[in-house]
Structure 1
Amino acid sequence: MLVVPAAQAQVAQGSPQTGLPVVALTAGIHVIRAEIASTEDTRRLGLMHRQSLPDNNGMLFIFEQPEVQCFWMRNTPLPLSIAFIADDGAIVNMADMAPQTDTPHCSAQPVRYALEMAQGWFESHGIAAGLRLGGLP
């Protein structure tokens, strides 16, 4: 019998992952409800196959150590914005990502965190590089 990790099974089925832990982050006066992707499998699946993303919700990717992190949008139908975040919570750089593309979007320096939100969320809430997020695990 072949045992497939849950995240891999969800990718094979084309369904979004569910049941991830959630953390409340702060960005200035704004509170973000972020699902946590902290394992190789959960980071690989990310927000793939999601058809919608509620207001102020996103996904926080946590890596074991700071490295240049790169993301693409394969199997992701939602346009997203990503913020790459240093250990001290400071946003290093940001990028808008088009749906269903393999174009890489990378951090400008080594980071352990990346936060994906609906495209335009950061801009519409006045969030820019240099701002520090609170509540990082």
Structure 2
Amino acid sequence: MSQRALSKRQAEALEFIESFIISNGYSPAIRDIGAHFKYQSSSTAFKIVEALVLKGYITKGEFGARTIRLTKKVAAHKAQDTTPRTDSELEECIKGLTQAIQKALLYVNRNSDKWMPDVAEKVLRDALKGVPVNVD
């Protein structure tokens, strides 16, 4: 299994495969992938799928259509993909985290008599929804 990073085309195909499975409840056929990206030949989509298999992001049955399955490595790739790459993305993360902490502190101040750690965790998780966070 190769540990190299995904190319832009491979990452796009992986994202399409994941969203297709979520939307339809079954995996796309090679032709679906090729049609989505408007490839002239389905062999281009086939080569991308094979590269994703070799890199461990998906598995594919030997026989039959629609046998593509995502692996756990997809979740790791997505977590890695949310890491801030620019100063503005980092500033946005810091802003979201600051707002989450302020919201939690406000809750604590208003409800100090019934403070519970699980409530604090919920408040922080709710406040951080949509904020890209990667904790190693």
| TM-score, length of structure 2 as denominator length | 0.24
